[in-house]
Amino acid sequence: MEQSKLFKVAEVEITYKPKFKVSDRPQISTSKQAYDILIRQWDLGKIEMLEEFKILLLNRRNRVLGLVNISTGVGFSVSFLKGFQP
């Protein structure tokens, strides 16, 4: 086998082609607009019982790319904040 072929590294390429045009996505220009999008994603029946950490992803023109649910739980953050001393 040729020496040059031994040192070539295989590549994996991932592409993402959304079904929506960027211009069709909501554009955020105020905190109220961000709030309105986020609040629709919460279960309002559980909002006082569960702690949820979500991220609203925006592009450079503040168009919404998506919403990611990072974690959901109870108690951990509350107990951390109670014991926190600045």
Digit-coded pLDDT (tens) for 68-84: 888 777 765 543 444 44
Q: Which of 19, 13, 15 is nearest to 66 (CA)?
A: 19
Render 2-48 in DSSP notation, one character per residue.
-HHHHTPPP--------SS-GGGS-B--SHHHHHHHHHTTS-TTTTT
The total of structural domains in the chain comes to: 1
Q: Provide the domain limits for residue 14.
A: 3-83
pLDDT above 70 coverage of the chain, percent: 84
Stated pTM of the model: 0.61
pLDDT, one tens digit per residue, over 15-54 is: 878 788 888 999 999 999 999 999 998 888 887 788 888 8
Whether the predicted pLDDT of 66 surpasses 60: yes
